[in-house]
Amino acid sequence: MSEPSQVFVTDAPSSSLKDSFGVICSSLCLVHCLFLPMVLPMLLATGVLGTAGTLLASEQTHLMLLVPVVLLAVMSFPGGYRLHGRLLPSILALLGLTGLVLALVLGEASETWLTSIGAAMLIIAHLRNRKLLNG
């Protein structure tokens, strides 16, 4: 039977990498939510993006961003908890994911603030999880 310190050392790099990708994906959600509404109308009006601009504005983009965010959270936080034993990253991640899903379900009226808060909570959760894993 291996000792917990050996598991911590061998599993931490791959878990830390998942958290790094989680930060990237959550940051993409945040950037998409905050800056796209300001920039997209100009780009669509000039025709610079063409159909890519229409795709960026569609609900499919939200789903395409949400899927890797959820998968990375599911792969990162349970393993992180098993290694470091702290619940805070998992709680923050669960709250963040709830915000992102609610933003998708409730639509435009609350989308910007729910996505912003949810993505920010996920970024903080992944950074905290990575810090706890790396000591």
Q: What's the pLDDT tens digit per position in 9-58?
A: 445 667 788 999 999 999 988 888 887 777 767 766 776 666 666 666 66
Contacts of 129 (CB under 8 A, 6+ apart): 15, 19, 76, 77, 80, 84, 89, 93
Contact indicator for 89, 77 with CB cutoff of 8 Å: yes
Domain of 16 in residue numbering reads as 4-134
Which of 62, 40, 64 lies closest to 53, judged by CA?
40
**What integer pLDDT is reported at residue 7 of this predicted model?**
41
Neighbouring C-alpha atoms within 13 Å toward the C-beta of 55:
6
pLDDT at position 51: 63
Note whether 74 and 6 are within 8 A (CB).
Answer: no
What total number of domains does the chain contain?
1
Say what the pTM is: 0.79
pLDDT of residue 13: 63
Q: Is the pLDDT of residue 1 over 50?
A: no
Task: Take residue 103 and report the two structure tokens written for it.
Answer: 């933003």
User: What percentage of the chain carries pLDDT values higher than 70?
Assistant: 79
Q: Minimal CA–CA distance to 33: which of 95, 93, 94, 123?
A: 123
